[in-house]
Structure 1
Amino acid sequence: MAPAYALALTVAVTAPLLQPGYLLLRDAVSTPRSYLTDAALGLTQAAPRALPQDFLVALVSTVVDGGVVVKALLILGLWLAGWGAARLVADVLQAGVAGQCVAVTIAIWNPYVAERLLQGHWSLLVGYGCLPWVAVSMLSLRAGSPRAAAPKLHSSRQSASRRLLECNFGGVAAVVFWVALAGLTPTGLMLAATIALTCALAPGAGRPRWWCAAVGMVAALAAALPWLVATAVAPGWAAADAGQKAGVEAFAARAEPGLGTLGSLAGLGGIWNADAVPASRTTPFAIVSTAVLLAIVAVGVPLLVRRRVPVPLLVLAVVAVVAPALMATGPGLLAVEAVIGAVPGLGVLRDGQKWVALAMPAYALAGAATVLTLRSRIPTLATGAVCCAVLIATLPDLAWGVGGRVTPVDYPPGWSAAAAVINADPATVAVLPVDSMRRFAWAPGAPVLDPLPRWLRADVLSTGDLTIAGTTVLGEGARAREVQQMLTSGADRDELAAAGVGWVVVEGSGVRLALPESYRDENLTVYRVGGHSPSSAHRGVVIAAHSVWLAALGVGLLGMLVARRRSRRAHGREQEVDRPQAGDQ
């Protein structure tokens, strides 16, 4: 029942994405095909923020259209969030269908999901969907064995030991798989690792805390290898910390009407980009939405405290709300700037609101606990139905792609033609206009990152500069910035070729260059320059690191399936033993 309900809610949110087309919305960029360029492997000056998602999409898009891959992963992530929340409350609280459905609703139907959809953070939402599964897996190791695997009185000691070993094997495999899947993006991995370590602190009679924590850390390290190795072998971006420090204030959590920063975060909202917010959260109605969510959560908290096992997740939820709020204060901004200045690679910390995802498992547990708390006075089905209904009603515009704002679009035919010209002779590409974000007439709505870097075999120079509320936050693309200055100052073909530029692409029709044209239509012009830049010498080691991540994903999944099959066989054998035989009276 709960998985089906989770799927129904997921479809209600993502239904527009079931149509043909490509997701192009702010940071979400999908193309028919992607390639293992140096940029896709994190071997440029830019921080490796999109690893290993670009690696995976490049591999899978060789057999499946890249637009389908991205949309499928996004839908899968939301479904996993709801289904995992139901599984978590079933295991920890033994909650029935009503409690599970409330947990599903909290996990899927909330401002965090809406705002990250509008920001285009599809891979982050995949990691978000893995969080309750990480909690389930780690808590099963701490508990020793799930309820279904508890040995019966007549079972032999050897059989009980075997079952415990199989449970541990399945739990470890599950932790490895879910942490690796969450690791599609560095932020998702950091979220999953935090949940794993937090659940390792939970009380239990199973594996010791240090052992569970070690499993979580080893799984996280394997999943982090792609961007750790890329950071080590291509550290040029690390010196460009000025833009990251300047962007700290721009990326801080934002107060919503009538709530303040802390209240917005407690309601799972407060993203830095005011344009990536559902309409209902831009008015005082946000107070009602937040009050409903927090009321449902608050009623169940005392029961969670008494159960003890969820307490570490409750503490983490408080930290996940309070810490980003503190980071948005004056002293907090200075502290984050100091941290990034000391370790530029920690620029990922700037977007404080995304860490609120860590509160979701505890919120889901508390929502289910509310149903259990009130069952002595109100039927569980009635409580569950009311809670689900009011959660949905107070965020009505999450439905249908956040009010129709998350919908696929089609590329004009010229994009395929232009890509084919460059892919026939891949060489470094410079692009005009200079902005990293684009607005296309054929893709109405919000701006989007330039799709070319993910469509071409060649590396595309990009500065990564963003303009937020009139303030330009510099990216790490120093070389791209230099080449763009050459283009805007009228550099000739020989100068550009000497700088390693092979092609120049002008998006739009407002600029004409004195260079040989290879393709032109109303949307794009491709100029041939003829320069070449050598590929990174570190491609092999970075691909090997990605292979470790892919192996962790595959081995973890295989281990889970094997453990599940063994568990079912053991259960079947027990039923045979328990079945009365002829003459047993």
Structure 2
Amino acid sequence: MKARHAVAPAYALALSLLVTGPLLGPGYLLLRDAVSTPRSYLSDAALGLSEAAPRALPQDFLLAVVSTVVDGGVLVKILLVAGLWLAGWGAARLVAVVLPQTGMAGQGVAVTLAIWNPYVAERLLQGHWSLLVGYGCLPWVAATMLRGRLWGVVFWLALAGLTPTGLILATVIALVCARGWRPVGVTLAAATGAALPWLTASVVAGSLSGSASAGVRAFAARAEPGLGTVGSLAGLGGIWNGQSVPVSRTTLFALVATLVLLAVVVVGLPMVLRVRTARPLLVLAVAAVVLPALAATGPGLAALEAVIRAVPGLGLLRDGQKWVALAMPGYVLAAAGVARYGRAVAVVGAAALIAVLPDLAWGVAGQLRAVHYPAAWPAVARLINADPRPVAVLPADSMRQFRWAGPAPVLDPLPRWVSADVLASGDLLIGGKTVPGEGTRGREVTELLAGGASRERLAAAGVGWVVVESGSPALDLPVAYRDDDLTLYRVGGTAPAASGRGLLIGAHLVWLGLLVGAGAVAASALSPNRRRSRT
């Protein structure tokens, strides 16, 4: 790589490390939805064979496989940093393809906007590290599709497919940039292959239900101070959870920051509008703001609830703000257009984007940091993994607060750390209201525990272990382990093995084959020897 070509990726990596700095030391990412553990397993839940909707496939499969050789906490950190780095570097590549006349100045503004924006900050605080991997693939999908490199498109679709949402985002970008039926066909075929893990799990486990419609209003996009919902979304903010927001976005300064971001985009827009290949991405950017805003209105919420009840698989749509990621490729192209006014203007624009979101630096002002598990967690995991029977947990809430993990709530780490099935309802308490999860069996077992059921009755219900966190009442059951953090009770019940494991492993291997195979073909096409042979 020539020195000139290394500037954009180096700058993107520097910004990514500035954002994730506190995570780079020893410890694990444990913040809201982000849960990393030293080791994961190919449990039924990791394959999607549980009552819960398969929202984390094939992510959980990848973690289970790779954590056999790499510590799971290290792997998650690498993927998170890589996602942000890819977003910035990919933005520069997209600008180089569509607006080469803007040079390094335009690429620098694009890198800055792709990494340094409220969407990234909010998704980091919500713990959506794997969604940010998919987000980082979006400009690469656009750039490779516009260059007609279809094997590259397949690779980026598969990588974005680490989560269902990431795959949908990348597929939309690919289709918007496709020119001709062949690219459309390749995109749809690749997307179907990459979606096989969660599509297959949905059918085999029958885990999709209309209950997701109950959370539509709780997960709708949110207006920030001084901004309506449309303004918040246009500024790449507005996540449903008001606790997952940088402090600078909780005051009227959010209005100033949004105006600055939009000013950078609007100033460069005239140049981009003249480029035909950029227009579809600009139209998509507008749609990515307007449609989630409409979905957050009264009629929009009612319509979305009806759609999800009718088609349960569309429960993915209820977190409307996450689809604003589709605006990023169009935004970075428009931002790059400020370089038409000179390098100094581009530098000022990039600096302004950073200045209006100062608390994204260093782990969103320290909220994103590595934590250390107390000794009880590996000890309990070892005992359960030595005899992997179904596990019930108390308290029953999906989100927990641990004194050693900071003030923010986190998902229970236990299901990611044991090879046994962990019985949980998946219920979430949002704004004082309970959004029901899909875990009917977990809910029934929790009711048994709350009613003081005997060991025999719990065993008959298929409970093998009960894990109780500190602060919960003691149970009249045989104790296998106890300290100040956790108590493990041995019950001894079993449950029938889930059917379909082979089919789900096969579906995951198709996704992995697409990722590795398409990546190898795309890389070989770009090798120096291959390029020389064509000259």
Give the TM interval when normalised to the shorter protein. Answer: over 0.9
Shift of 1:89: 0.1
Is residue 2:239 matched to residue 1:232?
no
Aligned residue in 1 for 2:178: 200
Aligned residue in 2 for 1:147: none
Q: Secondary structure at the match of 1:445?
A: coil
Is residue 2:354 matched to residue 1:354?
no
State the one-letter code of the partner of 1:570: R
State the one-letter code of the partner of 2:31: L
Query: Structure 1 residues 301 and 568 mapped into 2: Cα distance closer, same or farther (>3 Å)?
Result: farther
Is residue 2:109 matched to residue 1:102?
yes
Q: Distance in 2 between matches of 1:572 and 1:382?
A: 41
Is residue 2:373 matched to residue 1:411?
yes
Aligned residue in 1 for 2:126: 119
Q: Distance in 1 between matches of 2:191 and 2:534?
A: 36
Shift of 1:571: 3.8
Is residue 2:342 matched to residue 1:342?
no
Shift of 1:394: 0.3
Shift of 1:510: 3.0
Aligned residue in 2 for 1:213: 184
- What do residues 57-115 of structure 1 show as CA deviations (whole Å, max 9, x unaligned)? 00000001000011110000000000000000011110311100000000000000000
- What do residues 336-380 of structure 1 show as CA deviations (whole Å, max 9, x unaligned)? 0011000111111000000000000000000111212x2xxxxx3
Aligned residue in 1 for 2:158: 180
Is residue 2:418 matched to residue 1:450?
no
Is residue 2:392 matched to residue 1:422?
no
1:44 to 45, 50, 57: 50
Is residue 2:283 matched to residue 1:315?
yes
Q: Distance in 2 between matches of 1:572 and 1:516?
A: 71
Aligned residue in 1 for 2:299: 331
Q: How does 1:383-398 map to 2 (within 5 A)?
A: 383-398=345-360
Contact 2:394-2:472 at 8 Å conserved across structures: no
1:546 to 492, 495, 508: 508
Contact 1:405-1:445 at 8 Å conserved across structures: no
State the one-letter code of the partner of 1:505: V
1:2 to 8, 13, 17: 8
Shift of 1:238: 2.5
Aligned residue in 2 for 1:80: 86
Contact 2:524-2:530 at 8 Å conserved across structures: no
- What do residues 263-290 of structure 1 show as CA deviations (whole Å, max 9, x unaligned)? 0000000000000000000000011111
Q: Distance in 2 between matches of 1:535 and 1:274?
A: 40
- What do residues 530-574 of structure 1 show as CA deviations (whole Å, max 9, x unaligned)? 011122110000000000000000011101111011x65434774
Q: Secondary structure at the match of 1:506?
A: strand
Instruction: Say what the alpha-carbon RMSD is for the aligned residues.
Output: 1.0
Is residue 2:361 matched to residue 1:399?
yes
Shift of 1:135: 0.3
Contact 1:173-1:555 at 8 Å conserved across structures: no
TM-score relative to the length of structure 1: 0.89
- What do residues 454-512 of structure 1 show as CA deviations (whole Å, max 9, x unaligned)? 00010101111111110100000011000000000011011111111100000114311
- What do residues 104-150 of structure 1 show as CA deviations (whole Å, max 9, x unaligned)? 00000000000000000000000000000000111111xxxxxxxxx
Q: Distance in 2 between matches of 1:76 and 1:322?
A: 30
Shift of 1:308: 0.7
1:504 to 453, 462, 466: 466
Contact 2:233-2:293 at 8 Å conserved across structures: yes
Structure 1 residue runs without a partner (length 5+): 142-170, 202-208, 375-379, 575-585
Shift of 1:42: 0.7
2:140 to 126, 130, 133: 133
Contact 2:525-2:531 at 8 Å conserved across structures: no
Q: Distance in 1 between matches of 2:514 and 2:521?
A: 10
Structure 2 residue runs without a partner (length 5+): 1-6
State the one-letter code of the partner of 1:519: Y
State the one-letter code of the partner of 1:193: T
Aligned residue in 1 for 2:4: none
Q: Distance in 2 between matches of 1:571 and 1:396?
A: 46
Contact 2:395-2:472 at 8 Å conserved across structures: no
Aligned residue in 2 for 1:152: none
- What do residues 24-74 of structure 1 show as CA deviations (whole Å, max 9, x unaligned)? 000000000000000111111110000000000000000010000111100
Q: Secondary structure at the match of 1:440?
A: coil
Q: Secondary structure at the match of 1:505?
A: strand
State the one-letter code of the partner of 2:387: D
Query: Structure 1 residues 135 and 37 mapped into 2: Cα distance closer, same or farther (>3 Å)?
Result: same
Contact 1:128-1:182 at 8 Å conserved across structures: yes
2:222 to 254, 272, 275: 254
Q: Distance in 2 between matches of 1:29 and 1:224?
A: 23
- What do residues 408-437 of structure 1 show as CA deviations (whole Å, max 9, x unaligned)? 100001111111111110010000001110
Aligned residue in 2 for 1:289: 257
Aligned residue in 1 for 2:35: 29
Q: Distance in 2 between matches of 1:189 and 1:569?
A: 30
Shift of 1:303: 1.8
Q: Distance in 2 between matches of 1:514 and 1:282?
A: 47
**Number of equivalenced pairs:** 528
1:475 to 431, 434, 437: 437
Contact 2:38-2:71 at 8 Å conserved across structures: yes
Q: Secondary structure at the match of 1:96?
A: helix
Q: Secondary structure at the match of 1:504?
A: strand
Query: Structure 1 residues 54 and 282 mapped into 2: Cα distance closer, same or farther (>3 Å)?
Result: same
Contact 2:32-2:408 at 8 Å conserved across structures: yes
Q: Secondary structure at the match of 2:28?
A: coil
Contact 1:509-1:522 at 8 Å conserved across structures: no
State the one-letter code of the partner of 1:457: S
Q: Distance in 1 between matches of 2:241 and 2:529?
A: 48
Q: Distance in 1 between matches of 2:276 and 2:268?
A: 13
Q: Distance in 2 between matches of 1:519 and 1:485?
A: 23
1:53 to 59, 65, 71: 59
Q: Secondary structure at the match of 1:252?
A: coil
Q: Distance in 1 between matches of 2:401 and 2:37?
A: 16
Q: Distance in 1 between matches of 2:264 and 2:472?
A: 54
Structure having the higher Rg: 1
Q: Secondary structure at the match of 2:242?
A: coil
Q: Distance in 2 between matches of 1:175 and 1:491?
A: 55
